[in-house]
């Protein structure tokens, strides 16, 4: 049974250094045209249309954190730091020293299992604060290399990769492109998932192709999902329980693009919460808070537009 060790690094010898590096390096992430911040950002795909003879495909890295090659990653990050003109505003350390400290963080992942000490010798630790940034930076570099060297595809656009080839040949080239990205780095391997009946899961969303070529998004749940949540009668702080409601309702609002689907999703969420004894007052309290935040956000957006359009 293959296992990936997920070990909390809180209190470990390199934890504070990793937190510091995460703040120093985070501005480097997201500089590509295809960067997706979160599910809300991705849900913007609903504004796009697809042709009848085009297909949806997603590629996913297998075991990304534990597969990232540390040596290559350090070289990529050092190059980015060396050309970052704002680095001195975030740290007094040079690019060389930041890279050296990062190397110590990535190569000092010790943990104990069954009384035996182990050292992770490949990839980034899944419990380190700096690992997500390290993986993002390497995959952005990988993506740029993959798209620039693809032998049969020209890829462009934003939010998603758009294949600029004859649509009749698309299915053949999809497999070719997957083979191509799997040939670039022996440590990084991709799986491929194609749409099923016009639907493809990505992040927390199901992207659905409509008959007219427009898209809609709904909340995605894995087949193993059981709607099991923290019981309201448990001895947890009330804020944790309200957080469960808030998270589920926010996800529904952010991800679900069709009003009818949203109504059904909220009904599903409330039914699941009722099973775990969540009272109506708690749900209403969270809904009122979310509506208030949404109204404040609209006002800020409106104020910004007014200030830009005003003449003094």
Question: 129, 97, 101, 126: which is closest to 111 by C-alpha?
Answer: 126
Long-range contacts of 238-247 (CB under 8 A, 24+ apart): 241/278, 241/282, 242/282, 242/285, 242/286, 244/273, 244/278, 245/273, 245/278, 245/282, 245/283, 245/286, 246/286, 246/289, 246/290
Q: Which two tokens stand for residue 24?
A: 């120093």
Q: Which two tokens stand for residue 100?
A: 């050296």
- By DSSP bridging, strand 116-119 and strand 215-219 are unpaired
Average pLDDT, the chain: 87
DSSP assignment of 231-267 equals -TTSSS-HHHHHHHHHHHHHHHHHH--SHHHHHHHHH
Distance CA 149, CA 53 (A): 26
Residue-wise pLDDT tens for the chain (312 aa)? 667 667 788 888 899 999 999 999 999 999 888 888 888 899 988 888 888 877 788 889 998 998 999 999 999 999 999 999 999 999 999 999 999 999 999 999 888 889 999 898 899 988 899 999 999 999 999 999 988 888 765 554 444 455 444 455 666 778 888 899 999 999 999 999 988 888 999 888 999 999 988 999 999 999 899 999 999 999 999 999 999 999 999 999 999 999 999 999 999 999 999 999 999 999 999 999 989 888 877 777 666 666 655 543
Share of the chain above pLDDT 90, in %: 57
Q: Which residue has 């703040």 as its token pair?
A: 23
Q: Are 200 and 56 in contact (CB under 8 A)?
A: yes
**Where are the domains positioned within the chain?**
15-23+59-194, 219-297
Distance CA 257, CA 155 (A): 27
Distance CA 131, CA 70 (A): 11
Q: Tell me if the pTM is above 0.75.
A: yes
Question: 50, 7, 72, 35: which is closest to 195 by C-alpha?
Answer: 50
> What is the number of H-type helices and E-type strands within the chain?
11, 9
Distance CA 133, CA 21 (A): 9
Instruction: Give the tens place of pLDDT for each residue, 12-45.
Output: 889 999 999 999 999 999 988 888 888 889 998 8
Q: Which residues pair with 208 in a beta bridge?
A: 199, 216
């Amino acid at each position: 049974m293959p296992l990936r060790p997920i070990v909390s690094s809180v209190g470990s010898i390199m934890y504070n250094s990793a937190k510091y590096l995460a703040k120093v390096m985070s501005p480097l992430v997201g500089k590509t045209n295809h960067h997706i911040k979160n599910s809300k950002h991705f849900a913007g795909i609903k504004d796009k249309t697809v042709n009848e003879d085009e297909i949806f495909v997603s590629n996913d890295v297998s075991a990304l954190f534990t597969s990232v090659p540390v040596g290559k990653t350090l070289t990529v990050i050092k190059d980015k730091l060396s050309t970052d003109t704002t680095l001195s505003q975030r740290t007094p350390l040079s690019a060389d020293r930041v890279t050296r400290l990062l190397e110590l963080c990535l190569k000092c992942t010790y943990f104990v299992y069954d009384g035996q000490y182990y050292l992770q010798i490949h990839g980034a630790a899944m419990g380190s604060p700096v690992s997500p940034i390290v993986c993002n930076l390497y995959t952005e570099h990988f993506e740029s290399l993959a798209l620039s060297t693809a032998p049969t595809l020209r890829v462009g656009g934003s939010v998603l990769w758009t294949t600029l080839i004859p649509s009749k040949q698309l299915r053949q080239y999809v497999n070719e492109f997957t083979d191509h990205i799997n040939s670039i780095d022996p440590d990084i391997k991709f799986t491929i998932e194609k749409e099923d009946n016009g639907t493809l899961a990505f992040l927390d969303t199901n992207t659905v192709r409509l008959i007219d070529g427009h898209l809609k998004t709904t909340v995605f749940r894995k087949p193993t999902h059981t709607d099991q949540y923290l019981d309201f009668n448990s001895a947890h702080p009330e804020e944790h329980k309200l957080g469960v409601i808030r998270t589920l309702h926010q996800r529904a609002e952010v991800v679900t693009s069709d009003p009818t689907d949203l109504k059904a999703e909220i009904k599903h969420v409330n039914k699941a919460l009722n099973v775990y004894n969540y009272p109506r007052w708690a749900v209403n309290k969270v809904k009122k808070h979310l509506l208030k935040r949404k109204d404040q956000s609209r006002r800020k957006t409106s104020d910004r537009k007014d200030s830009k359009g005003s003449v003094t």
